[in-house]
Structure 1
Amino acid sequence: MDARIDDDGRVLTLTTGDATHRFHAIWLRDNAQDDETRAPGNGQRLISLRDIPADTRITDVSVDGRGVTVTFAPEGKDVLFDPGWLSRHAYGSGAGRPRGWIADDLTCWDAGLQDDVPVAPLDELETRGPALKDWIEQVAAYGFGKISGGPVAEGALFRVVDLFGYVRETNYGRLFEVRTEVNPTNLAFTGLGLQAHTDNPYRDPVPTIQVLYCLESSAAGGENMVVDGFAAALRLKDETPDFFDVLANHCARFEYAGEDGVCLTSRRPLIELAPDGELIGVRFNNRSLAAVTDVPFDRMETWYAAYRRLGEIIDDPAMEVTFRLEPGEAFIVDNTRVLHARKAYSGTGTRWLQGCYADKDGLRSLRDAMRRQSQEAAE
């Protein structure tokens, strides 16, 4: 490993094997891990940027078995950095990534995932051991997962949320009922299916996790279906880049005012990108789409053509994974990415699910904490 000072002390260049990373002096000082800069217990900063001199520079660097020691002026402060930490936090390599890129720890999928749906028994997950770690990793990567072997009891879905976070209460309550009875006197009646959609696009922010838990399922049909919205958006981009761009560049509007005292609205694009082009969200719900007014006149027909094509991709059976929930089973979806639907049902019987919302920061927090725990154990 080699470390040298460049640009009159404003840059540290670190070479390890075939990898070379460059770090600005101000970045290194701001990210010092010493006890004067960071609280030992939780890692939070103890100082503000105003406490660091604006003319901070590096005057000396040395490498030994402990790591990389950097001396900062004008403070005259020595800080020890772990080379592995520096490599993991190197920056500047993301330039040139294509618009619509996704994070490395996400996996896009289509109907080919049908036989590999992430699933685990609830009682095993509640031991908070390896089964939970594996399931959480898969749910984070694919954006959805199933749970089996739960009790057939009202409110049991809260045990699913307890695995990783907290219920997000809305105007629908802590939970909502999805109950259907097929008319037994009219055997010709066929229940309508629902197009794959994301829930509550009219909220800002949207609930980022949805849980649906089955309590009764005696009606024929009514299978659940999920579609990877990221895979659908990227397929649209591959087919017609202009369609992808028009849906990402202009906001749609969503609205729900179906009860007294409630008028929920949001203004967000159907395909949401971060400033650096990362694909971070999809909102798709024809029932809640309000009049779109944020698209320029000369782009509106293109916007509608793109909206139509995205819907056709979402409806393509090659994109969907289907499964039937039996009593005591549940599934969880990342509501910023994965669309869900219900197939049509018919005949006699009942279908009763309970649903609730949560937030994926809890799920990601648990995943990252378990990753860190495994890493520390390995070291």
Structure 2
Amino acid sequence: MFNIKKIEKGKLNLNIEWSDGEISNYNYFWLRDNCPTAHDKDSNHRMFNILESSKDLTAQESKVSEEGKLVVKWSEGDHTSYYDPKWLRENCYTLKNKRKFISPYQLWDSSLEKNLKSITVDHDEILNSEEGLLRWLELLHYKGIAIVKNAPIEKESAFPVLNRISHTRQTFFDTPFEVINVPKPNNSAYTAHALRNHMDLPWFENPPGYQFLHCLVNSAEGGNSSAVDGFAVADYLKKNEKEIFETLVNVPLKFRDKDYTQETIRNFHATAISLTKDGDYNDIRFSVATMDTLDCHPDIMGKVYNAHHKFGNLLHNNKFQIKFRLEPGDIFSFNNRRALHGRTAFNPNSGHRHLQGYYMDRDEILGRLNFLKK
């Protein structure tokens, strides 16, 4: 427990020296905005409107109470705030921004293929225990990939285990969508063709965060699965090909839904790699099949195609991708905006291949994981 040792009043901030020698800087608006009384006691929503404060808001008085709380009497609004030192320390943006950011993501390459057991979880373990569910969620969040083993193989039988996380995301492909070979397909997934490693639905403004492919039957020749950690490939480019990395981060590409059955036109511009506020990897948006006619500035079109060529080939490089075969009862689960997936061609005359697919938003995985860890 850290105690407040000294308070110093500045023009725009209160500066606090802590008992361990650390210094925190607290902006007056930030303090007033986060007064414990600013929030409704039941909903916890902020009720106080900081926009009604004048730009001259300041601390008229500040001191430490006998209980060790920071007490601030404000220059306007006839209000006094009491801040718990533990809360102040945990939420101190001065100290947070001094720390070196450490990514939570565990990057992987083709060596994962030799240890697929490390990303598997048993279906009934997830269904019947919080430990199993937590392991699945941690794999999904930190590694971006997991294979659930020994699930039932009846149609729509993945719903109970998925509902252990949250609700699925509905799209016009329906839930679940049927990954089978059909005549006159409206998507290349519904053919026997090979599929290059790709992200699903890149032409949505917010593509589904996670995808779950539930294998019901896989008796045809071919149809082996592949996956690649797009974050690992992006990291390789960041360290070895700076100009290509910057192009992929800064120049939006164009994607388009080419489904002839739709009465809508969906297209979206987005960069191949996007980053978080901390400079970590956020999204990988890549799909040769659904990239639309690019409309970059003419001076950079050659540079964009060069970067796209390099990135796309690395996403299929055997140094990075893994290959495996889904068995009936497997649920191939992955971060759709990180781990790109594909398959080899299969012979529909040699047997049957039937997967059922489900989507879920990334918020649901992370929100459930945060709740269970708490």
Normalised to the residue count of structure 2, the TM-score between the two structures is 0.85
**How far apart, in 2, do the equivalents of 1:223 and 1:249 lie?**
34
> How much is the aligned-residue C-alpha RMSD, in angstroms?
2.7
The structural deviation recorded for 1:112 is 3.1
Give the aligned partner of residue 151 of structure 2: 150
Tell me the alpha carbon deviations over residues 1-55 of structure 1, each in whole angstroms, 9 at most, x when there is no partner: 3342331462333435364332212112212233xx1123342212222244543
1:121 maps to what in 2?
122
Aligned position for 1:23: 26
Is the contact between residue 204 and residue 267 of structure 2 (CA under 8 Å) also seen in structure 1? yes
Q: Which residue in the other structure is 1:323 paired with? A: 324
Helix, strand or coil: the match of 2:106? coil
Post-superposition CA distance 1:105-157 (Å, at most 9, x none): 22222223331643222222223512212321221111222212211110122
**Paired AA for residue 291 in structure 1:** T
The answer (yes or no) to whether the contact 1:14–1:22 under 8 Å persists in 2 is no
SS at match of 1:253: strand
Distance 1:278 1:230 in 2: 9
Match of residue 195 from structure 2:
194
Aligned twin of 2:103:
104
Aligned length: 357
Which residue matches 2:288? 286
Deviations 1:147-177 (A, max 9, x none): 1221111012222431222222212112211
* Structure 1 position 60, deviation (Å): 0.8
Give the match for residue 238 of structure 1: 239
* Separation (CA, whole Å) in 2 of partners of 1:102 and 1:355: 35
Give the aligned partner of residue 306 of structure 1: 307
| Structure 1 portions without partners, runs of 5+ | 182-190, 373-379
Equivalent-residue separation in structure 2 for 1:300 and 1:273 (angstroms): 22
Shift in Å at residue 250 of structure 1?
Answer: 1.4
- After superposition, the Cα gap between the structure-2 partners of 1:292 and 1:345, relative to the gap in structure 1 and judged at 3 Å, is same
C-alpha distance 92-174 of structure 1, shift in aligned 2 (>3 A): same
- Distance of 2:339 and 2:372 partners within structure 1: 24
**8 Å contact from structure 1 (residues 208, 360) kept in 2:** yes
Deviations 1:319-355 (A, max 9, x none): 1233322112102221122211113445822221000
Q: Which residue pairs with 1:38 in the alignment?
A: 39
Who is 2:340 aligned against?
Answer: 339
Identify the residue that residue 215 of structure 1 maps to in structure 2: 216
Q: Deviations over 1:48-98 (max 9, x none)?
A: 22244543323213166565444433345343434443333332567799x
What amino acid sits opposite 1:238 in the alignment?
Answer: K
Q: Which moves more between the two structures, 39-48 or 325-334?
A: 39-48
Does the CA-based 8 Å contact 1:252-1:268 persist in structure 2? yes
Shift of the 117–78 alpha-carbon distance from structure 1 to 2, 3 Å rule, reads farther
Bigger shift: residues 67-76 or 202-211: 67-76
Cα distance between partner residues in 2 of 1:259 and 1:230: 32
> Is the 8 Å Cα contact of residues 64 and 71 (structure 2) preserved in structure 1?
yes
Q: Which amino acid aligns with 1:324?
A: R
The AA in structure 1 aligned to 2:307 is: A
Among 72, 89, 92, the alignment partner of 2:91 is 89
Name the CA shift for 1:152/1:288 in 2 (closer, same or farther; >3 Å).
Answer: same
Matched-pair identity in %: 25
Q: Partners of 1:81 and 1:111 in 2: how far apart?
A: 51
Report the secondary structure of 1:124's partner residue. helix
Counterpart-to-counterpart distance in 1, 2:90 and 2:67: 19
Equivalent residue for 1:7, pick from 10, 24, 30: 10
1:14–1:122 Cα change, 3 Å? farther
Contact 1:71 1:77 in 2 (8 A): yes
Give secondary structure in 2 for the equivalent of 1:29: helix
Asked if 2 retains the 8 angstrom alpha-carbon contact of 1:192 and 1:344, the reply is: yes
CA distance in 1, matches of 2:155, 2:203: 28
Kindly provide the amino acid, as one letter, of the partner of residue 7 in structure 1: G
Do residues 79 (structure 1) and 81 (structure 2) align? Answer: yes
The corresponding residue for 2:187 is: none
Matches within 5 A, 1:169-208: 169-180=170-181, 192-208=193-209
CA distance in 2 between counterparts of 1:163 and 1:28 reads 39
Greater CA deviation, 359-368 or 171-180? 171-180
Task: Give a deviation string over 1:216-259, Cα, whole Å, max 9, x none.
Answer: 01234423222111111121122211111112211111112322
